[in-house]
Structure 1
Amino acid sequence: MKIAVLIGGLRFDSQRRIMNGILEKAVFDGTDVFIFTCDSWTYSSPYYTKGETAIFSLPDLKDYDGVILHGDTVYDKSVISELVKKIREARIPCISLNVKYPGMLYMGMDNANGIYGIVEHLLQVHRAKHFAFISGPEENMDSTERWESFRKALADNKIPFDNRYFYYGDYHPESGKKAVGYFYDLPGAFPDAIVAANDEMALGAFYKLKELGYEVPEQVLLTGYDNAIVGRNHSPRITSVERPETELGAKAYEKLRDVILGKEGSEETTLKSHLIFTESCGCHDSEAEPEESFRMKMITDKLHVTEFSEIVKSSSADFTGAPTFEQLLAEIRRYIKLINPNEFYMCMCVVEDSYQTDRNYEITGKTQIEALSQYAPEICIPLIYRRGEFENYGRFPVEKFLPDKYTVAGKGRFYTVVPLHYQDRCYGYCVIGNSRLMMDSELFHLFIMNINNALENLRKQSMLNSMVHRLNRMWIYDTLTEVFNRAGFFKFAPNLIHEAIDRKENLFILFLDLDGLKSVNDRYGHDEGDAFIKAMGMILRQLHGNGELVMRYGGDEFVVMSKNYTDEKAAGYIRRIERSIDEYNMTSGKEYKLGASMGYSLVEPEEDMKLEDLIEVADQEMYKVKKAKKERLKNQQP
């Protein structure tokens, strides 16, 4: 069996516990779990949010037996709407966590009784009178339910609430700090009880209160929600509500499994929460974790943070300093070896060359780096780490997500998929196989961000190189014929002259003038006249092979310079031009014929020789040829 889990913010306690519940049951059953996750929040820019949430467009849900959707962790309505639509179109069973969608099975946790019980406790046990509420994001279902339950508890107890003491947070500690600062600046008495919609915001509030000189719980009662690790191991321990998140994940998986296997189940299930009254509201801490267990966890976490923070810091410098994609891959391999996940796949969008089309331009590195607004039709994997060894894999359709050889079905494996992007520019995705890095490490997502930033740095460098290259070409190349213009020719010709002097070789200078350009312009228009000139440039480029410098000297005039020529070799070169002109005229389909008059000179070069003088000599030879042509045509007329 194969299921997808669509969830945001996997590194946070609540989502982590839900995933632990899902995986505990799924792995035991031999079910393969594919976790698509991102880290977009309400404070993120729209561009960053688009880049993060693009990961949810990646899975082809028709390839899965079922899906678990935690829509309340993705704060973009349009993304959720598209996901709901995709799930319905896939016609596979879906368990929706905490949010009800028509046609989907629902499993959630009680929010109302938790906050309601907290408020009643503060009122009845601690005699709180003046409340403030720090909410989660405005359109988040959990935070909305907690806010409504808070208001109902006050109303049922006939306690008025001043709406100025309401603040929208984002579940992060910093928003808890900002909320307390906002309450402090309001005129009137400071609240004696602050209810936060989660423990992280409660902790942020605690440290801002301490900064302002308020003691918890002596002067301000403080509560949170979710019974997160940071809250229950804090001093004072945060009064909170423990939700059965691990149980939710386990039961959601079991219900999905039963539906897939054809067993019937209830469409809605709501699990009860558990109130925990402890030190931050002035109660006795009867459920504190054993000190030895707490100390061991603190030491383990400290060691992990110390080690991983060094990896994150060093990799940031090494990744962004890599001048080419190949060197970036080498640096990523080095750090992946240090981190040593079970499996790691760096999957990149295959982008055809779209802006570096100029001839003879070499891009930085061996792989094209360009950003898209969505995943490319084809993916490649330049970096794979599995079984302690590195490998790579070529192109495959994006619908496959990973090639079949890397996803052996029915083994109880799990894969976490995160986006590679910079703002709304999509580069690909990373897959972490059979590893809890994205769940258990607060810092691993920063490591992925370092890769993102390095890819963007390479893209910008590649763009800059392309622009510089184009500017250089505009300066030294004729844009119509793609041979040198005067600036380019006069820049490189002295080198050729000095080589000829050093090697005591002749200089060959050919002057070519098109025949009949004026009549083409007059009869067919200047666009055809340009095509006439361009065709000659193409012929001279194609015959370039012995170090010749080719220049468009004027409107319909070209100059070719080379060295180590004899009269015989010069005559052979002119014959090749004439044959190419004849071949062009036979295949072009034009009513007019391409033609040219050519003259050349062979010169023993000297140091003080002027380039214009050399060209003038060849020009005079060409003029003799053109004059002779005209005489022959005149004599042929009746």
Structure 2
Amino acid sequence: MKKKIALLTTGWSCEYIFAVLDGIKKAVSSDEVDLYLFICYGYYDETKAFNHGEYNIFSLAHYEDFDGVILFSNIFNSIEVLEREKARIIASKTPVISLEYKLDGIDYIGTDNYSGMYEITEHLISVHGLRDLAFIGGPDDNSESLDRKRAFLDAMAAHHLTPDEKNIITGGNWSYDFGYDQMLKMIRESKKLPEGIVCVNDEGTLGAITCLHKNGIRVPRDIVVVGFDDTQSAAAFTPSISTVNRNWSELGVKAIEHLNKLINKEPVEPVEMLKSSAVFRQSCGCVSEQDEVQKNNSLDLFHQQRVTLSFNRHVRHLQEYFIEETEPSSLWSQIQHYLKEHHEFEGDEFCILMERSSMPEEINVEERAKRKDGYSEELLKTVHIKDQQIQKSEIVYSRELIPKGMNDDRNNLYMFVPFHFQDQVIGYFVNKNSTSLIENRFCYDWSKGISNGFTLFYQKYLYTLTNKELTTLYMKDAMTGLFNRLGYKKLAYEFFQENRDKQEHTVIIFADINYMKGINDQFGHLHGDLAIKTVAEILQQAFPSDWLGFRYGGDEYLYIGSGQDEEVVDQYCSNASTNLERRAKRMSLPYHLSISIGYQIVRPQTDLTLDEAVKLADETMYRHKEEFHSLRKEL
């Protein structure tokens, strides 16, 4: 039986995830293992509600169902969430390791951040003779960030150098924007820039160098800038960035080796450290010529621009369906048929699973509470593409994670991405053996495009339902539940014309309560109201459910239906009178309750209008009423 290993991460550090994942896949290639990658985009600067919706994808993992768990702890971007998931995993007694971030009670594999940062700082001082250095750091609660800052300060202290306090910048968030903004602030506020900038990571370094370039300051001619991580972007950038290599792929290999020992209950040291080492390139002045990576970068950049244009067009097409479609069934049908032909980013097999309560046809308009924590036991598979074929919609149990038939005998990688609006759960996406969305940095925009598109459709559909409900309320008589005169104007004429267009007969039935004034005068309006409601109930039971019923006036009723001959209509009317007589006897009313009925059958070839037909039915009813009154007088 194949092992199941859960991998939990955020998706912002694409190169890191991809490199570690590459090592993990290499390490399991000779074993029978399925990898379940739960990925989200929680971030420091996002709202609490948004982050709640993102991190909710981790609740999909029932850790007791897995053989092992690997936490990409250093890029979780939330200590609270990390501690929550750690507690759940420990409670499940499932073997677990943490990457690049130490957690109490969990085995740890990480990079020696200190040695690499010390080495590159020492290099700037000893080889390039720099004395005035600044440091742009990361989050204050992140151990990697703190280790790198400590190494920088220790290397400076070893040469009896003390950096200017205002040039030790902390509280960062690993982003390009933070590096850019802090560099711009330094340029504007400093009379003289430092000789060199040491950045906590390559992403921030890219931002800092770009800012310097836009302000006419050249690297490394005017100032030296170095980073940490040795990303592909750092190598391809101009100037290429001197940085620190962290052996990410090897980290993935070691993670699986360590986890297997825990699974097999073999002895293993709880902490493993991989060395980091400095890589010297153009940004510190060690290299002047472009290497092959930089030369190919322009080609790669052009290719990526084309891919990005294709992706943006792809997401736009999907969003157009959410905007244009008006019914849930047609929406998902259109999306399925589109994705059948266009799924270069989603992979060869993938599914969209939705909370049934988030589907408009499941909505109770009066109870619109949304799920915010976890996922329901049952979800609806709205899209499933496999081998370029649409698979049937079905219910999927969330604990099973994927639909039946998606698994096979191969080693597979399943990627799970949440759909949500703020903290409200919509569903999730799962694909098989494709990391294209991660590699191209599209996963965030793709998942948000689907989530926002569906939310727009949901709200639009809900608005339509609400409007229909309000319109119905305006057209309904509060006492009887039948349509009122406004309902008659909006529905009856259209119904009449549709029957004529279909060459069908239209039946117009007019009914009126006998002696209604006497009931009100002698027994009061409460009895009058009771009589009106009782007759309405009897008529609703007597005539077909697809006929339109109206309270036409105070004690007048109008029914409009399709395609019946006189014999059938006579029987309907007779049943109504008979049933009312029986009901009145059971109710022991102190008065006689009965109705007079008249009808008109309008054939499609006649020129008779609806109003004319109603008038004829009313006249017939009135003749019957006179006959009834005459008979009562004789008695």
2:23 alignment partner in structure 1: 21
Alignment counterpart, residue 349 of structure 2, candidates 329, 343, 347: 343
Please say if 1:429 is aligned against 2:437: no
Once residues 335 and 135 of structure 1 are traced to their aligned partners in structure 2, the CA distance between those partners, rounded to angstroms, is 42
- How far apart are residue 196 of structure 1 and its match? 1.4
Letter of the 2:335 counterpart = L
- TM-superposed CA distance for 1:209, in Å, is 0.4
How far apart, CA to CA, are the structure 2 residues paired with 1:480 and 1:316? 50
Code of the residue aligned with 2:598 in structure 1: it is S
Q: 2:363 aligns with which of 326, 350, 355?
A: 355
**Cα-Cα RMSD:** 4.1
Question: In structure 2, what is the equivalent of residue 48 of structure 1?
Answer: 50
2:164 is aligned to 161
| Aligned length in residues | 613
Offset from partner CA, 1:125-176 (integer Å, 9 cap, x none): 4344444332234443322333344344445534043246515433232222
Pair 1:356–1:220, CA change in 2 (3 A): same
Deviations 1:292-350 (A, max 9, x none): x66557645643x24432332222332122212321222222211x4582422222223
The change in CA–CA distance for 1:537 and 1:37 in structure 2 (over 3 A counts) is farther
Partner residue in 2 for 1:256: 259
Q: State yes or no: 1:278 paired with 2:281.
A: yes
CA contact (8 A) 2:514 2:625 kept: no
8 Å Cα contact 1:244-1:271 kept in structure 2: yes
User: Where does residue 600 of structure 1 map in the other structure?
Assistant: 597
State the 1:571 CA deviation. Answer: 4.2
The answer on whether the counterparts of 1:177 and 1:204 sit within 8 Å (CA) in structure 2 is: yes
CA contact (8 A) 1:370 1:427 kept: no
Q: In 2, are the aligned partners of 1:510 and 1:560 still within 8 Å (CA)?
A: yes
Q: Tell me the equivalent position of 2:231.
A: 228
Select between 34-43 and 143-152 the one with higher mean Cα deviation. Answer: 143-152
Rounded to whole Å, the distance in 2 between the matches of 1:203 and 1:594 is: 92
SS in 1 for 2:102: coil
Paired residue for 1:96?
98
Equivalent residues of 1:41, 1:49 under 8 A apart:
yes
Deviations 1:442-485 (A, max 9, x none): 23553444333332232233123212322322332335544211
1:408–1:525 distance in 2 versus 1, CA, 3 Å: farther
Q: Distance in 2 between matches of 1:36 and 1:525?
A: 67
Q: 1:538–1:226: structure 2 CA closer, same or farther, 3 Å change rule?
A: farther
- Counterpart for residue 366 of structure 1: none
Consecutive unaligned residues of structure 1, counting only runs of 5 or more, are 359-368
Displacement, 1:541? 3.7
Q: Which runs of 5+ in 2 are unaligned?
A: 326-330
Whole-Å separation in 2 of the counterparts to 1:470 and 1:199? 56
Q: Distance in 1 between matches of 2:582 and 2:295?
A: 86
1:330 matched residue in structure 2 = 337
Matched, 1:198 2:201: yes
Matched residue, 1:74: 76
In 1, distance between residues paired with 2:392 and 2:581? Answer: 50
Q: For the structure 1 residues 422 and 331, does the alpha-carbon distance in structure 2 shift closer, same or farther, using more than 3 Å as the test?
A: farther
In structure 2, the residue matched to 1:399 is: 399
Q: What is aligned with 2:376?
A: 376
Q: Is the 8 A contact 2:493 2:610 kept in 1?
A: no
State the match for 1:135 in structure 2.
Answer: 137
| Aligned residue identity for 2:363 | Y
Per the alignment, in what secondary structure is the counterpart of residue 392 of structure 1? coil
How has the CA–CA distance of structure 1 residues 259 and 524 changed in structure 2, closer, same or farther, with 3 Å as cutoff?
farther
- Equivalent position amino acid for 2:403 in 1: P
In 1, Cα distance between equivalents of 2:283 and 2:255: 33
Matched, 1:176 2:179: yes
| Cα 1:241–1:609 shift into 2, 3 Å | closer
How far apart are residue 631 of structure 1 and its match?
7.2
Contact 1:33 1:413 in 2 (8 A): yes
Query: Equivalent residue for 1:265?
Result: 268
**Structure 1 residue 580: deviation in Å?**
5.1
Whether the 8 Å contact between 1:320 and 1:457 is mirrored in structure 2 is no
Mapped contact 2:336–2:385 kept (Cα < 8 A): no
Contact 1:517 1:556 in 2 (8 A): no
Distance 1:496 1:90 in 2: 62
Describe the SS at the equivalent of 2:405: helix
Q: Following the alignment from structure 2 to structure 1, what is the Cα–Cα distance between the partners of residues 134 and 32? A: 48
> Scaled by the length of structure 2, what TM-score is found?
0.83
Q: Which residue of 2 aligns with 1:486?
A: 485
Note the C-alpha offset of 1:428.
Answer: 1.9
Q: Deviations over 1:209-250 (max 9, x none)?
A: 011111112222211110111112222221211112211111
Match of 2:453 in 1: 454
Matched-pair contact (CA < 8 Å) for 2:508–2:614: no
1-side partners of 2:32 and 2:497: how far apart? 75
Taking structure 1 as reference, are residues 393 and 139 closer, same or farther at Cα in structure 2, changes over 3 Å only?
farther
> Is the Cα–Cα contact under 8 Å of residues 20 and 250 in structure 2 kept in the other structure?
yes
Aligned to 1:126: 128
Mapped partners of 1:446, 1:103: distance in 2: 36
Identity %: 23
1:220–1:143 distance in 2 versus 1, CA, 3 Å:
same
Residue identity opposite 1:32 in structure 2: D
Contact preservation (8 Å) 1:194, 1:222: yes
Q: Secondary structure of the equivalent of 2:6?
A: strand
Name the CA shift for 1:428/1:480 in 2 (closer, same or farther; >3 Å): farther
Structure 1 equivalent of residue 576 of structure 2: 577
Hey, what does 1:6 align to over in structure 2?
8
Deviates more, 1:177-186 or 1:418-427: 418-427
Summarize the Cα distance change of 1:176–1:595 in structure 2 as closer, same or farther, 3 Å threshold: farther
